[in-house]
């Protein structure tokens, strides 16, 4: 009785094939070493309730299931190496280097996922890449949402506007103020459509589910993409249902019940998904019917599987050239060199703060007062013009609650890195108008500075408008700034304000947080230095939304910006040279 022979569609393992598999195994081990920080980052992100990505634990399991499901096709697709696949690995290795040295783990995450696809492509050919494309692409649903923060403010505004329209349409009186919704019934319930309520996280979770469902149930590629595109409107509809439910419960049962049962219970994730999933299933049925005639075979495999048998023989006969084989040897060597360099290179050097004045300057025509922040969480009042002790340099306790006063706010002291530097002051003009200036300078960590749009809702403000302006910098150059028009989120609060901010370093000035991050990544990865950035923020009441108010802002910045930058740094910026250390 003959023994069963092992499944080996490409014939016996030749010496050439053994070398190919050994090199691939070595490259995969090196990739695991390069991905160590990504794995640590993923463990943190998936367990962080603020990120709201608990669904992402299922993503790698589903990808592994897809690979196991088509394992025979994958084995059959083992072919000759591909020079194109090897070349595609090079920009991903560069991206991985930029992410690791630039302290941007999301870039490293994207690079690692890309290499999970391009390495099999390089070692085993195009057919292997086709089979692994979707299982690897599905892993990108594990990338955190922070890089989409530019989209959240606009999504919050749209969500608030549509929700107010729908609630008023069903007879629940609501007044919208920026991203805030003020329910005029139910005890004056107020809701701010902050980041968790914007719908972006629901879009991400539902898009993950929709991509998996479309791949498993639809047999035509364009139909899969069409159903996947439906994830965004489905998630928005689910979020609308959530806010409508909050309004209905607040209207009929009171604000307390709405907050407990929905906003803190079912509202943030479960309710939008419960609404979106049935709609997704029905959309799948409708899309599947497009262009079909007669009865449909329900057991038909996905489109890629349908042509696998015909495509496999062509894949085995892939064209491996001497250049492709050279790429197989050079790739592990490059990965080993990168891993060694990442472990042995010294950390980036932090730039000094010599491009800024040591303290906020006195400006002609303005009186400067130092603000003091109460650190009692139930008070948090701000005072200026307080008499400080000449020995300790500290003011007396809070005159309202007796709490400790500090130069920076409770949140900044508690949540920002310890090496973050601050300069704060209130500038009063001759008419009593006040402009509050806050300068935050990053330390070694990139977490010292973030966009104002991300924290203002938590501070009790609704963002009504975001605009960019190109002003004079007071020295003959141009100063790009971003202006946020604000209103307190609390019902009944009518005082509006604006926050103006921009970023400066010894070498650059920008109002774009994205540009600032790109420059920081480049300097860390290529020049081994941590760029010292200062975020300059000016808050004024009323908003800078008229030509007259913009002129007041311009007059103030014409004096503040030159005085804030040290003469040495200004001269270096003008000549294109770095200031001396």
Per-residue pLDDT of 413-423, as tens digits, reads 877 888 889 99
pLDDT at 25 exceeding the cut of 80: yes
Cα separation, 348 vs 443, whole angstroms: 12
pLDDT in tens, 360-370: 989 999 999 88
SS3 241: helix
Strand partners, 498: 485, 540
> Which whole number is the average pLDDT over 560-571?
72
- In angstroms, what CA-CA distances link 47 with 37, 43, 225, 459? 16, 6, 31, 25
CA distance 109 to 39: 9
- Report the percent of the chain where pLDDT is more than 70: 78
Question: What is the per-residue pLDDT for 310?
Answer: 38
Q: State the residue for tokens 């010294």.
A: 346
* Residue appearing with tokens 């040290």: 566
Least Cα distance to 566 among 540, 532, 529 occurs for 532
Mean pLDDT for 56-76 is: 90
The tens digit of pLDDT for each residue in 470-518 reads 998 888 888 999 999 887 755 445 678 899 999 999 888 999 988 999 9
Residue, of 127 and 160, whose pLDDT is higher: 127
* Residue-level pLDDT at 261: 58
Q: Report the distance separating Cα 321 and Cα 334, nearest Å.
A: 20
User: Is 489 or 191 the better-scoring residue by pLDDT?
Assistant: 191
CB neighbour class for 278 (10 Å; exposed up to 12, middle 13-18, buried from 19): exposed
Average pLDDT over residues 40-46: 82
* pLDDT surpasses 90 at 556: yes
Residue 54: pLDDT band (50, 70, 90) is low
Residue matched to tokens 């539902």: 206
pLDDT, one tens digit per residue, over 193-246 is 654 445 566 777 888 888 898 888 888 888 888 988 888 788 778 877 777 777
Strand bridging mode 372-374 / 405-406: antiparallel
- Given a cut of 50, whether residue 4 has pLDDT beyond it is no
| The most confident of 192-196, 369-373, 460-464, by mean pLDDT | 369-373
Look at residue 318 in the predicted model and tell me its pLDDT. 38
The residue whose two tokens read 């009042």 is 381
Range of weakest confidence among 39-43, 254-258, 364-368: 254-258
pTM of the model: 0.75
Q: Give 308-339 as a DSSP string.
A: HHHHHHHHHT----HHHHHHHHHHHHHHHHHH
Give the whole-angstrom CA distance, residue 285 versus residue 302. Answer: 16
Total residue length of the chain: 581
The reported pLDDT for the residue numbered 2 is 43
Whether 174 has a pLDDT exceeding 50, the answer reads: yes
How confident is the model at residue 482, as a pLDDT?
93
Whether 300 shows a pLDDT value over 50: the answer reads no
Residues of the chain with pLDDT > 90, as a percent, come to: 29
* Range in 320-324, 537-541, 576-580 the model is least confident about: 576-580
Q: Indicate if the pLDDT at residue 575 is higher than 50.
A: no
Averaged pLDDT for residues 174-198: 63
pLDDT category, 578, cuts 50, 70, 90? very low
Residue 331 pLDDT > 90: yes
> What strands, in cross-sheet order, belong to the sheet with 180-183?
174-177, 180-183, 190-192
Confidence tier at 459 by pLDDT (50, 70, 90): low
Please tell me which residue, 20 or 258, carries the higher pLDDT value: 20
Instruction: Evaluate if residue 150 carries a pLDDT over 80.
Output: no
Compute the C-alpha angle 206/212/216, nearest 5°: 140
356 forms bridges with which residues in the sheet? 565
Q: How far apart are the first and last CA of the chain?
A: 83
Residue 136 banded pLDDT, cuts 50, 70, 90: very high
Q: Select, from the ranges 170-174, 203-207, 247-251, 541-545, the one with the highest average predicted confidence (pLDDT).
A: 541-545
pLDDT higher than threshold 80 for residue 299 = no
- Around Cβ 310, how many Cβ atoms within 10 Å? 8
Q: Which of 30-39, 169-178, 389-398 has the lowest mean pLDDT?
A: 169-178
Mean pLDDT of the chain: 80
**Is-contact 263 246, C-beta < 8 A?**
yes
pLDDT of residue 406: 85
Kindly state the average pLDDT of the residues 138-155.
Answer: 70
């Amino acid at each position: 009785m003959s023994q069963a022979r092992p499944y080996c569609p490409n014939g016996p393992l030749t010496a050439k094939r053994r070398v190919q598999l050994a090199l691939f195994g070595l490259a995969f081990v090196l990739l695991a070493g390069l991905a160590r920080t990504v794995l640590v980052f993923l463990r943190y992100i998936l367990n962080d309730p603020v990120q709201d990505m608990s669904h992402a634990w299922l993503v790698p399991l589903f990808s592994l299931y897809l690979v196991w499901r088509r394992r025979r096709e994958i084995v059959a697709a083992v072919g000759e190496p591909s020079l194109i696949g090897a070349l595609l690995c090079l920009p991903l290795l560069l991206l991985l280097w930029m992410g690791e040295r630039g302290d941007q783990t999301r870039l490293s995450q994207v690079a690692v996922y890309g290499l999970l696809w391009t390495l099999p492509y390089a070692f085993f050919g195009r057919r292997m890449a086709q089979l692994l494309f979707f299982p690897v692409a599905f892993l990108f649903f594990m990338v955190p949402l922070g890089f989409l923060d530019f989209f959240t403010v606009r999504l919050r505004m749209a969500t608030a506007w549509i929700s107010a329209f729908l609630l008023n349409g069903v007879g629940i009186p609501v007044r919208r103020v920026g991203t805030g919704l003020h329910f005029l019934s139910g005890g004056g319930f107020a809701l701010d459509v902050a980041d968790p309520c914007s719908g972006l996280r629901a879009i991400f979770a539902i898009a993950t589910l929709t991509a998996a469902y479309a791949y498993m149930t639809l047999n035509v590629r364009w139909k899969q993409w069409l159903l996947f595109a439906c994830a965004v409107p489905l998630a928005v509809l689910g979020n609308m249902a959530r806010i409508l439910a909050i309004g209905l419960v607040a209207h009929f049962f009171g604000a307390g019940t709405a907050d407990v049962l929905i906003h803190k219970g079912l509202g943030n994730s479960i309710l939008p998904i419960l609404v979106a999933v049935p709609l997704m299933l029905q959309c799948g049925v409708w899309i599947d019917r497009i262009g079909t005639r007669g009865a449909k075979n329900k057991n038909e495999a996905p489109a890629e599987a349908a042509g696998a048998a015909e495509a496999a023989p062509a894949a085995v006969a892939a064209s491996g050239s001497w250049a492709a084989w050279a790429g197989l040897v050079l790739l592990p060597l490059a990965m080993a060199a990168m891993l060694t360099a990442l472990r042995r290179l010294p950390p980036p050097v932090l730039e000094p703060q010599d491009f800024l004045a040591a303290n906020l300057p006195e400006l002609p025509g303005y009186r400067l007062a130092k603000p003091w922040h109460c650190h009692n969480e139930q008070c948090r009042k701000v005072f200026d013009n307080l008499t400080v002790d000449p020995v300790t340099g500290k003011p007396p306790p809070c005159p309202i609650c007796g709490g400790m006063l500090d130069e920076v706010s409770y949140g900044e002291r508690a949540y920002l890195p310890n090496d973050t530097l601050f300069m704060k002051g209130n500038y009063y003009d001759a008419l009593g108008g006040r402009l509050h200036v806050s300068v935050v300078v990053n330390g070694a960590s990139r977490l010292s500075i973030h966009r104002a749009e991300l924290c203002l809702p938590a501070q009790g403000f609704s963002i009504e408008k975001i605009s960019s302006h190109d002003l004079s910098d007071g020295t003959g150059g141009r100063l790009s700034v971003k202006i946020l028009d604000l209103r307190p989120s609390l019902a009944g609060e009518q005082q509006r304000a604006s926050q103006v901010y921009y970023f400066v370093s010894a070498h650059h000035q920008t109002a774009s947080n994205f540009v600032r991050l790109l420059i920081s990544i480049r300097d860390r990865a290529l020049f081994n230095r941590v760029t010292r950035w200062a975020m300059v923020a000016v808050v004024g009441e009323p908003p800078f939304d008229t030509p007259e108010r913009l002129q007041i802002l311009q007059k103030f910045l014409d004096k503040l910006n030159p005085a804030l930058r040290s003469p040495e740094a200004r001269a270096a910026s003008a000549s294109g040279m770095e200031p001396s250390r």
